Structure 1
Amino acid sequence: MGGYAKVAQWMAKEEEFSIIRRFGALSMQKLLYMQAELIHLQSELDQLSKRDVNNRERQFHSKDWYSLSQGETKEDLEQWQKFLEISEKLEVYNAKDTAVLKHTAMGKFDRPREYDLEFLRSWFRRPGMGSFPLLGLDRDAWDVKTENDIIAIKPRETPDIFSRWFAESFIPRYHRVFGQRYRKELPDNVGSGIYHYRESSLASAFRILVTVMASLLPICSVVALFLVESDGLRLGLLAIFSACFSLALALMTRARPVEVFASPEDQRFKR
């Protein structure tokens, strides 16, 4: 199996790599063309309306729908037919699945994680993996120059700074030293040399690590303040531990800045 089938199977199996182009510029260009067409049609309708008002036989077209829609000659029906043409275009423009809403919906998709996008590019290039499965112009669909137009259908949740480092830096190093000895490769139908670590397992390990560190920080601060007798040194240590606590919150959680600043204040108040 190769080509598009291989790429599709890889993206379906590992959903975080379901990364495609949004074609935002082309989508917007389509909307601009539709808008321009409607503006021109509206201008033509206005001209016909002004023409008919000054015609003795068609002067009531703006006030009587029946005379507007039931004219006998081509000129009598021209304004109504123009309106029907506009109505069809508006139906397309305003429909529930119209290009406007589709463009908006595509814009709501998140960008892929940089790590996942780089791995996908690597997968395409490496002989033992994708091995250049696409040969047409679309082989460059994931190139750096189109990076701002790329979306992920099912991106991984954006983690905090520390958990991103844990998953994207620590785990690859751990795998090179220890992990590859104990883990089995994924089936070679999507490439060789690919190993899978469950993100739920990584998240559980990370939560345990964060919980342990979160419980140690307050204890360390209390012990340090208890052992130090100098008031000046105590104030210095209090400032240091408050800064460490805020830094830990910023790196290990996705707390808002106001929550990060409030937490050390709460800790000092409780003492």
Structure 2
Amino acid sequence: QGGQGGQGSDSQLPTRIMLRLTPGIDCHTHDYIRTGHLDSKFGFDPDQIEAVFAFIGQQPNLTCVGLHAHIGSQIFERQPHQDLAEVMVQWMEKAKSYGLPVTELNLGGGLGIRYTESDDPPSIDEWVQALCQAVKAACESQNLPLPKLLCEPGRSLIGTACVTAYTIGSSKTVPEIRTYVAIDGGMSDNPRPITYQSLYRAVVANKMSAPVSETVTIAGKHCESGDILIKEASLPQTEPGDILVVMGTGAYNYSMASNYNRLPRPAAVVVANQEAKMLLRRETYQDLIRQDCLPDSLLG
């Protein structure tokens, strides 16, 4: 029938799918970026999986080629992913008992990067080695052939490829409590600190050789009290006009930026071989209002 009516045989091929499962693996990260524990909006729960396997096995238009799980982000420990590999290989064996041709295993990502001096993530090589060893051991114990192994390194590849530069403005000292230092950005260009209390390290770019002399709170320009970029930043004495540079902003800054409070997003440049070239132009107020319109009836 595939050749009838000018239709090629490819139109009759079943759709290849992967199933995302909730493995019940916990990891030490913020609740908002934990995705593998049982109380999660992601994936099929363990008590649903066999019913899903049975359903997929009865659908001639679907072919389940693999299983997928992701347990969270900014993870430093290797053990959670090793545990994940063992759990997922067990579900691979169960999928095959339902006749599903599962040959691919995606163990997600979540490998963290060093945002602050106290962060100590494993290298990508160390993480991959632990993952591969765990999958191999689990497959050997289940007498299964090795699957095509997929992972999603994401942040660990690009997080350290970018920094964000702000101009320092005013400051405010609350005696015996803290000193606030204001910048010309905040939660609109980096929503991570207010969303799940992410920590960052900052330096003053025009005073790199100056000694650190104070601990200040870096405050964003938005009207929310929670718009705090760094609660305790160790910096040299700052002045209006200094350039504050926040490290490790390559993964989740511009991709999560918004026009919150109708603020334009900043420019982005790439620096290589002692040259700086524009990647993204700074937004203008005209950019913000270009989609605004009023019905004629409101224009008099």
* Normalised TM-score (structure 2): 0.20
Give the structure, 1 or 2, with the largest relative contact order (CA under 8 Å, sep 6 or more).
1
Q: Which has the higher strand share?
A: 2
Larger CA Rg, structure 1 vs 2: 1
